[in-house]
Structure 1
Amino acid sequence: MSGAAPDGGLKRDGGAGGGRKSRWETVAAAVSTALVLFVVATMLYDALARPQTPPSMHVQADTVLQADGMWLVRFRAVNRGHNTAAGVKIEGELMRGAESVEVSEATLDYVPGRSVRHGGLFFRGDPRAFRLELRALGYQEP
């Protein structure tokens, strides 16, 4: 073994990167660079050019289910504004004419701008027997 190279006879190029790059390495580098530039440009646009409109919450009922002796109204809260809302308080009220019959509240922890979040409100009475009013009461800035 006195004449054998310690690495099993493999030649090395010195590790200085002087070897030839394959076509696929060049393509991968170009695609990666394009993706990074796209992400940076999108983040810059989002931070500088996007309108900074306050949260604008719109609440709609999706379904009404009976669950464990209670009635569940599943809802969606849509933030049409560009800014994020935190601690969004949603109120549902069952109305008979001008009279309030029952009120339920839920809080959504975090609703990003231009997004939808789902939640539910529990009632003792069947919401289908009354007029259901849903509204966002307020939010905090995160």
Structure 2
Amino acid sequence: MFREVLHDVTNYLATQSLLVQTISWLVIILLLIVGFYLLVSLLFFPGMYLFNRLTDKNKSNSLSREELLLGQLTLKIHGDSVGEVMEVGSQTARSTYPARLYREKDRKENVLLEKGTKVIIIEFDDQGVAWVIENKNA
């Protein structure tokens, strides 16, 4: 079947000019490459889907937000400004996050927490900002 189709195409193209023959063969080769690519993609898709489902894509060196409890300021926080806190409470990779004062009273009183101050990370908001208070036990 394939040989018959190839023979018919070859006979038809033999009657055409060299430019038409060249363009036609390029189109045929391109279609064969695209067809082969689609066939291979369809064959490998189920396996890759299964592989992605079985592997944990969210595994990294960063910690979950529940594990972040203790931190140290790497940029000062003054009143309602945004500083930066580095998580230091675990034995794994250290991560830094933007930080703000948790207590409304501290923000209104323009409390200053200097760089290097030990803090407790209370929570994270939707933008990833850590809300902190000073760790008076450290």
Q: Same fold (TM over 0.5)?
A: no
Q: TM-score, normalised by structure 2?
A: 0.31
Please state which structure has a larger fraction of its residues in strand.
1
